[in-house]
Amino acid sequence: SQQGEEDPQALSIQEGENATMNCSYKTSINNLQWYRQNSGRGLVHLILIRSNEREKHSGRLRVTLDTSKKSSSLLITASRAADTASYFCATESNFGNEKLTFGTGTRLTIIP
């Protein structure tokens, strides 16, 4: 079964607005990662946050992690048309199984 569920499934916003996507997961984790996928392409790693971290920034990206609620959020500020893509969270469980389990993804559309 899917480890991560993302919310919303699809999001459309005007260019310049902020976009927030949420990810919930079921089991304890070592880290949580966010990836971007442009249509028909491979995934690109955006940011990794470890279980002992609560917030992380990278450029216009801000990720938060709440391990008590088993949830994470990705905020993209000042969105651009080039941010149009699908965004996936992925978790590494702390069972030591060496793999990531991906969430269902959020399809983000930035309207110019």
Partner 1 sequence: DAMVIQNPRYQVTQFGKPVTLSCSQTLNHNVMYWYQQKSSQAPKLLFHYYDKDFNNEADTPDNFQSRRPNTSFCFLDIRSPGLGDAAMYLCATSMIAGETQYFGPGTRLLVL
Residues within the interface to partner 1 (CB under 8 A) = 2, 4, 30-31, 33, 35, 40-45, 48, 88, 90, 92, 97-105, 107
Three-state secondary structure call for residue 108: strand
Nearer to partner 1, 31 or 77 (CB): 31
CB of 40 to partner 1, least distance (A): 7
Whole-number Cα distances in Å, 27 to 5, 40, 76: 12, 30, 26
| Closest approach of partner 1 to the CB of residue 104, in Å | 5
Q: Which is nearer to partner 1, 14 or 39 (CB)?
A: 39
Task: Give me the least distance between CB of 55 and partner 1, in Å please.
Answer: 18
Report the C-alpha gap between 9 and 95 in whole angstroms.
28
Alpha carbons 88 and 4: distance in angstroms, whole number: 9
